């Protein structure tokens, strides 16, 4: 039986992945760096410590990692204050599912972005738990942020359904042993083999009804802590390129 639903933020509730990409590209251009073809995919899903380290070490941004995060986030928040790119139907879906199950948010966004967005969208009361990947050891595709969300709701990961849009996010939720419902990101769609690993793929967020998610049920499986810790994390200093998050 399904016990809780855990939402991703960027790409699921907000049409924002391309905005993160543009903000990072601007910082690279303005601070002596050079964009790499694989950079967009590599950084999606990374936590802020991971992507700022990547930008400094791999893209050559000539400022501190803390300053990189500050610049990217300030650009993003300015855009959100002007126009919040809420996915059509997102508020309705969150409220509808929240009337049936406890909700959590497991996001690669920074804490300040999460709190700002939920305030602007009037969804601050919708989630029992919100977790930023900067608050756990590793960003997606490691399962850390999803495991923390389940702990915060006091449910087993196997009792949760994760709502994701991207490759790294799907892999993170699967690694946490959650059911996974995917709304593919139109800007950075996951490849077919990754979509095939999900429990459910829908064309739009609005399709996620109580009946549809409830039919997924839960997974009778626990993720051992040692197994979780052994999951390979993204290395911002390497040439590894992930996809989405």
pLDDT digits (tens, 9 = 90+) for 6-39: 999 999 999 999 999 999 999 999 999 999 999 9
Regarding beta strands 160-164 and 179-182, do their DSSP bridges make them parallel or antiparallel, or are they unpaired?
A: parallel
**Quick one: 10 and 45 in the same domain?**
no
Whether 71 and 93 map to the same domain: the answer is no
Same domain, 59 and 144: no
For position 184, what pLDDT does the model report?
95
pLDDT of residue 47: 96
Active site residues: 8, 10
For the chain, the residue count is 245
Tell me whether residue 168 is in a domain. yes
The sign of the CA dihedral 242, 165, 104, 13 is positive
Question: Which among 82, 113, 128 is the end of a domain?
Answer: 82
**Structure letter (DSSP) for residue 206:** G
Note whether 223 and 111 are same-domain residues.
yes
The residue among 28, 59, 82 that closes a domain is 82
Q: Quick one: pLDDT at residue 244?
A: 42
Tell me the pLDDT tens digit for each residue of 205-234: 999 999 999 999 766 555 555 555 555 554
C-alpha dist (Å) from residue 24 to 4, 36, 86, 99: 33, 12, 21, 37
Residues 104 and 50 in one domain: no
Domain of 154, in residue numbers: 4-15+84-229
The string of pLDDT tens digits covering residues 83-135 is 999 999 999 999 999 999 999 999 999 999 999 999 999 999 999 999 999 99
- pLDDT at residue 218, as a whole number: 65
Enter the pTM of the model: 0.89
Of all residues in the chain, what percent carry a pLDDT higher than 90?
Answer: 85
Of the candidates 185, 187, 180, the one whose C-alpha atom is nearest the C-alpha of residue 208 is: 180
As a 3-state breakdown, the chain gives helix, strand, coil percent values, each rounded to 5, of 45, 10, 45
The predicted structure's pLDDT at residue 233: 52
Residues 89 and 190 in one domain: yes
Domain boundary among 82, 101, 134: 82
Q: Residue 60: left if φ>0, alpha if ψ -120 to 50, beta else—which one?
A: left
Give the whole-angstrom CA distance, residue 125 versus residue 147.
21
Over range 55-75, report the average pLDDT. Answer: 98
**Cα(74)–Cα(61) distance, integer angstroms:** 17
Q: How many domains does the chain have?
A: 2
* Tokens linked to 98: 């929240």
Neighbours of 95 (CB within 10 A): 12
Domain co-membership, 211 together with 105 = yes
* Residue 245: band (very low, low, confident or very high) from pLDDT cuts 50, 70, 90: very low
Rounded to the nearest integer, the mean pLDDT of the chain is 91
Same domain, 111 and 188: yes
Percentage, residues of the chain above pLDDT 70 = 89
DSSP 37-97: TTHHHHHTT--HHHHHHHHHHTS---S-HHHHHHHHHHHHHHHHHH---BPTTHHHHHHHH
């Amino acid at each position: 039986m399904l016990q809780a639903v855990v939402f991703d933020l960027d790409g699921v509730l907000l049409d924002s992945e391309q905005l993160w990409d543009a903000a990072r590209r601007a910082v690279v251009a303005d601070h002596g760096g050079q964009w790499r073809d694989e950079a967009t995919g590599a950084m999606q899903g990374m936590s802020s410590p991971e992507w700022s380290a990547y930008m400094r070490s791999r893209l050559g941004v000539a400022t501190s990692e803390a300053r990189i995060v500050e610049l990217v986030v300030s650009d993003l928040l300015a855009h959100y204050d002007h126009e919040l790119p809420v996915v059509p139907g997102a508020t309705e879906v969150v409220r509808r599912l929240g009337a049936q199950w406890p909700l959590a948010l497991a996001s690669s966004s920074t804490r300040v972005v999460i709190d700002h967005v939920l305030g602007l969208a009037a969804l601050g009361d919708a989630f029992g738990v919100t977790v930023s990947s900067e608050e756990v050891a590793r960003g997606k595709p490691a399962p850390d942020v999803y495991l923390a969300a389940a702990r915060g709701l006091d449910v087993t990961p196997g009792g949760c359904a994760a709502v994701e849009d991207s490759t790294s996010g799907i892999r993170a939720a699967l690694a946490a042993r959650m059911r996974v419902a995917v709304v593919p990101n139109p800007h950075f769609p996951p490849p077919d083999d990754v979509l095939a690993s999900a429990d459910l793929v829908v064309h739009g967020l609005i399709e996620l009804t109580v009946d549809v998610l409830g039919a997924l049920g839960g997974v009778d499986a626990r993720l051992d802590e040692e197994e979780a810790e052994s999951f390979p994390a993204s290395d911002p200093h390497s040439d590894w390129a992930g996809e989405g998050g």
